């Protein structure tokens, strides 16, 4: 079994400082890394790391004695439906995600100036190489991030590239255990949410919403996006942040957000709140799950790690107990913030222990 993730991929360039920077002075970072980023992307990387951790437990030939994990491609590798763009940055992103154990379907829309782009030996949309240069406006987004003791500074280029989901439709997995979308590209989100939906009577406009696939569909709701409304009817579970504010709700509380989503048929809502307790509304029940504090946390991508772990656990029967599900996802997120960046933690022995406990 595997999962499908659909959404944004960026290049994240991260620096860490041991002091608050002076805007008039050049500074030297104490740590540096760069990697593929974006909500759905980081969630897929987390899912792949948990798959690697689970393989450690069942691999009798593992010399590490089930204490550490190495991310390698496998049949259960998650699929990421995204738009990588063109050029050397795109090539780096493709290589980074392959190393993380993520199968990438690149749905970057073709143009007359880029005919043939994306057509590689691995098959349509399966990116393993990229042109040495790319037309203006077709490069992936780049986020420059500086972490320092008082917070974080972020500068980013345009977040979305044009995507053509139909170009890679034949490459989508036939069967998945779960789908997660981050909503950054509505065309990709629509393709992911309707994967596996049975054919229905074309004369009934509500039939596609009622014809549900056998797998759960999860929304990563980091913030409200104007094009989300027609997609919400296809969502089964919403995992939102405090910044998720639907229309006409400037500063809603969690219950108001859950009620809004219930109007679209979403009866399972989870709301993360940084280092405060996670709230949930789940098939008529509600409650809160406390979050353990992590000293000197590097919080970039923590929410994405939560979503990836949440998807992994849902796929493995976690929907019956929302509090157990949230505790597991929170524990994985805690591992992710215990080291700098979004890659160092992926081979942590703690992941193996968390998977063992699941």
More confident residue, 8 or 207: 8
Classify 27 as helix, strand or coil. Answer: coil
User: Which tokens hold the place of 306?
Assistant: 């939560």
Give the pairing of strands 3-6 and 178-181: parallel
Task: Mark 24-57 as b/e (b = at least 16 C-beta within 10 Å).
Answer: eeeeeeeeebbbbbbbbbbbbbbbbbbbbbbbbe
User: Which tokens hold the place of 66?
Assistant: 């089930």
More confident residue, 83 or 58: 83
The 10s digit of each residue's pLDDT in 117-144 is 343 333 445 554 444 455 556 889 999 9
Q: Fold for 3-357, please state it.
A: 3.40.1190
How far is Cα 12 from Cα 107, in angstroms, rounded to an integer?
A: 20
Q: How far is the CA of 328 from the CAs of 273, 292, 306, in angstroms?
A: 16, 12, 9
The 10s digit of each residue's pLDDT in 299-313 is 889 999 999 999 999
Average pLDDT, the chain: 87
Range list of β-strands (E), the chain = 3-6, 10-16, 31-37, 79-82, 103-106, 119-120, 123-124, 141-148, 151-156, 178-181, 217-221, 237-241, 268-273, 276-282, 285-289
The 10s digit of each residue's pLDDT in 318-331 is 888 999 999 999 99
Domain residue extents for the chain:
3-357
Confidence of residue 182 (pLDDT cuts 50, 70, 90): very high
pLDDT of residue 111: 58
User: Which tokens hold the place of 138?
Assistant: 């077709």
Query: Is the pLDDT at 160 greater than 90, yes or no?
Result: no
Residue 188's Cα: distance from chain center in Å? 13
The 10s digit of each residue's pLDDT in 340-357 is 989 999 999 999 999 999
Handedness of CA 26, 32, 36, 41 (dihedral sign): negative
Query: Is the pLDDT at 166 greater than 70, yes or no?
Result: yes
Tally Cβ neighbours within 10 Å of residue 213: 17
pLDDT of residue 126: 58
CA atoms within 13 A on the CB side of 17: 16
Residue by residue, DSSP assigns 35-51 as EEESHHHHHHHHHHHHH
The 10s digit of each residue's pLDDT in 83-110 is 999 999 999 999 999 999 999 999 998 7
pLDDT of residue 118: 41
Query: Is the pLDDT at 57 greater than 80, yes or no?
Result: yes
Nearest by Cα to 131 from 143, 120, 145, 142: 120
Bridge partner list, 286: 281
Confidence of residue 74 (pLDDT cuts 50, 70, 90): low
pLDDT of residue 299: 84
Confidence of residue 112 (pLDDT cuts 50, 70, 90): very low
Query: Is the pLDDT at 49 greater than 50, yes or no?
Result: yes
How far is Cα 11 from Cα 97, in angstroms, rounded to an integer?
A: 11
Query: Is the pLDDT at 69 greater than 60, yes or no?
Result: no
Nearest by Cα to 220 from 13, 38, 12, 14: 38
pLDDT of residue 2: 87
Residue 161's Cα: distance from chain center in Å? 17
- How many residues appear in the chain? 358
The 10s digit of each residue's pLDDT in 17-36 is 999 988 889 999 999 999 99
Q: Among 142-151, 196-205, 244-253, 307-316, name the most confident range.
A: 307-316
pLDDT of residue 16: 92
Nearest by Cα to 90 from 60, 46, 134: 134
Which residues, 6 or more positions from 64, have their beta carbon under 8 angstroms from its beta carbon?
A: 56
Question: pLDDT above 90 covers what percent of the chain?
Answer: 66
């Amino acid at each position: 079994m595997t999962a499908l993730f659909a959404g944004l991929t960026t290049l994240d360039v991260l620096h860490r400082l041991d002091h608050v920077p002076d805007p008039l002075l050049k500074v030297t970072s104490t740590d540096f890394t760069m990697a593929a980023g974006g909500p759905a992307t980081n969630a897929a990387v987390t899912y792949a790391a948990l798959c690697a951790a689970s393989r450690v437990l069942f691999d009798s030939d593992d010399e590490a004695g089930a204490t550490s994990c190495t991310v390698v491609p496998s049949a259960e590798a998650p699929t990421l439906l995204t738009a990588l763009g063109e050029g050397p940055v795109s090539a780096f992103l493709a290589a980074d995600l392959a190393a993380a154990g993520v199968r990438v379907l690149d749905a970057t829309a073709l143009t007359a100036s880029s005919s043939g782009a994306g057509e590689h030996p691995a098959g349509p949309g399966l990116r393993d190489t990229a042109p040495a240069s790319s037309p203006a406006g077709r490069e992936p987004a780049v986020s420059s991030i500086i972490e320092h003791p008082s917070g974080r500074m972020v500068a980013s280029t345009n977040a979305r590239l044009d995507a053509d989901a139909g170009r890679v439709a034949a490459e989508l997995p036939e069967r998945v255990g779960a789908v997660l979308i981050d909503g950054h590209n509505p065309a990709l989100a629509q393709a992911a949410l309707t994967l596996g939906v049975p054919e229905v009577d074309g004369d009934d406009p509500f039939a596609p919403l009622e014809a549900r696939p056998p797998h759960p569909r999860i929304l990563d709701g980091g913030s409200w996006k104007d094009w989300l409304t027609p997609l919400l009817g296809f969502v089964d579970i919403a995992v939102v942040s405090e910044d998720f504010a639907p229309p006409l709700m400037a500063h809603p509380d969690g219950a108001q957000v859950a009620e809004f989503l219930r109007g679209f048929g979403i009866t399972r809502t989870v709301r993360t709140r940084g280092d405060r307790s996670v709230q949930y509304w789940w098939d008529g029940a509600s409650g809160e799950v406390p979050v353990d504090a992590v000293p000197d946390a590097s919080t970039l991508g923590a929410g994405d790690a939560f979503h990836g772990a949440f998807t992994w656990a849902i796929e493995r029967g976690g929907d019956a107990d929302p509090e157990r599900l949230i505790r597991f996802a929170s524990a994985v997120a805690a591992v992710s913030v215990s080291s700098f960046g979004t890659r160092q933690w992926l081979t942590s022995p703690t992941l193996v222990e968390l998977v063992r406990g699941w």
